Chain A
């Protein structure tokens, strides 16, 4: 179950697609101001040194072991462990100064770690050189200014120096900017999926959820067909048979009994029809709203259902419908399979997310891949929501759905 919920969390992660998107989550962090970015870049030049030294010293020390096959694995392990620690610092730096938000549990391969650290060390050192050149340029400009003020320079000399200095300044800043970009890109590649990867994941996820929705609709149709054929139709045939028997009845008493049975049967059919249509779509959802429709669910349930409903705003219709079916399906499941004696339902609107939670005190062990739950999952996924099923053996079962109200 744990693995399952983690899977769903991952599945939702592409919601924080790229940097633009993550900004809406935490406005204070992004976008970082340019002085902050500059500070981060300069700090990057400084942190490149430990990286470089690490490779130089530890790499050289481990060199023979790395080359000798029997010790290669463990030597590489040591090298990577240190590198990981250094890259963690880099990660913090990027998060603090650039507001980059990387996926929490993104597994990075050893090769990527080493490549990133090497790339960063190189880029950082080159950046240091570029920064040093910039500083040198500033000193030169100062000297030029001094010379001009003292009048020891001719104006055409000053102009020539200024043009030359301007070009050099442009090249220097351009180089610095490119190096910073390179650093950002390698960091993104190492610490989290690149934008392209996120897009690919998102497309994949959308295709999967679309297929799941189609499948869910089909299985829903199949269920309705079964309800109609195995319930209503059989009852109608039985009713017809009762009436037919009554017509052929040998005695008036027998005919009377059969007619009475037929009358009762027609009432049963009506009740069943109402049930079936309600299962197809609860009309109360349109006319009376989610709260009333949920009330209907608890009324028809064989075990007591405690419903807590805390929504004051109006909800989008797809969200309402999904919430209704999540509750009705889960409550039905609980009553049918879990041997629970009570079910509690909570529907709460937090900001723009409707959270629906159904908990029973049953024996647990619900199969999240079963047709009912996977149908619900597709329904939730179609709205870009998240469905979590927690049902350890022995219970209790908790089903939580977060539905964004776009």
Chain B
């Protein structure tokens, strides 16, 4: 996979470059701020861009704005945003148009190398990678007096995994259940949430997230 990185902490940036290199990925460039990244993006097209939300000069939402711009100008490029905190608002903005080739992870997740690499793969493959913590918060927020309360604990965990962007196979592995029971659970969820059946898992995530946000 060909990647570009924008992260202002040298320590993390170098760590990411090493890690990705060791995993056999090609890092086209690593930058300390969003402007340098965007300038390089105009010349070369990576598969996925990994970028920090808070970067110089203002350390507020440079990364997010750059991510939105990348999604706008180069929709075929995957964007994985790293955040210090859970910013539901930022996550929602990022997922607003569609939930394809997009990821929103807490920075701590990078330390869990497998999860991070897995998220990268999903984003590259055209899927989504939403931080479990973000999903959890979205679920918690909307559990007051809505159909979600009717979900069984198992269905809830399936829904969470789904919202994170996992495929059915991955969910089955993650929760140690059979693929058919994942499908059964999903059908129940869609029924309880009154969602029409759609194809393509990214659209399901979108539906789920949109629903959770409403």
Contacts and interface: CB of A to CB of B under 8 A. Distances in A.
Given A230-B9, A234-B9, A247-B113, A241 B107 contact: no
Contacts of B84: 229, 233
A167 interface: no
B159 to A, nearest CB: 28
A238 B113 contact: no
B43 interface: no
A236 B111 CA distance: 8
Given A230-B9, A233-B84, A235-B11, A241 B108 contact: no
Contacts of B111: 236-237, 239-241, 243-244
A244 B108 contact: no
| Chain A interface, >50% SS class | helix
B198 to A, nearest CB: 35
A242 interface: yes
Nearest to A230: B9
Interface in A209-263: 226, 229-230, 233-245, 247-248, 250
A236 B116 CA distance: 16
A235 B107 CA distance: 11
A241 B110 CA distance: 7
A247 B23 CA distance: 12
A248 B15 contact: no
A245 B19 contact: yes
A239 B19 CA distance: 12
B91 interface: no
B148 to A, nearest CB: 32
Interface in B12-42: 12, 15-16, 18-19, 22-23
A245 B18 contact: yes
A242 B16 CA distance: 10
Given A245-B18, A245-B19, A245-B22, A240 B9 contact: no
B112 interface: yes
Contacts of A250: 22
Contact of B12 (A237, A243, A244, A245): A237
Contacts of A248: 22-23, 113-114
A229 B54 CA distance: 10
Contacts of A247: 113
Contacts of B59: 226
A244 B107 contact: no
A250 B9 CA distance: 27
A238 B107 contact: no
A236 to B, nearest CB: 7
Contacts of A239: 111
Nearest to A250: B22
Contact of B19 (A226, A229, A241): A241
Given A233-B107, A236-B111, A247-B113, A241 B9 contact: no
B13 to A, nearest CB: 10
Interface of B: 9, 11-12, 15-16, 18-19, 22-23, 54, 59, 84, 107-108, 110-114, 116
The 9 closest A-B pairs by CB, nearest first: A240-B111, A244-B113, A234-B9, A241-B15, A238-B11, A238-B15, A234-B12, A237-B111, A237-B107
7 contacts: A226-B59, A234-B107, A235-B11, A238-B9, A238-B12, A240-B110, A245-B22
Given A233-B84, A244-B113, 6 more contacts: A226-B59, A233-B108, A234-B12, A240-B110, A248-B114, A250-B22
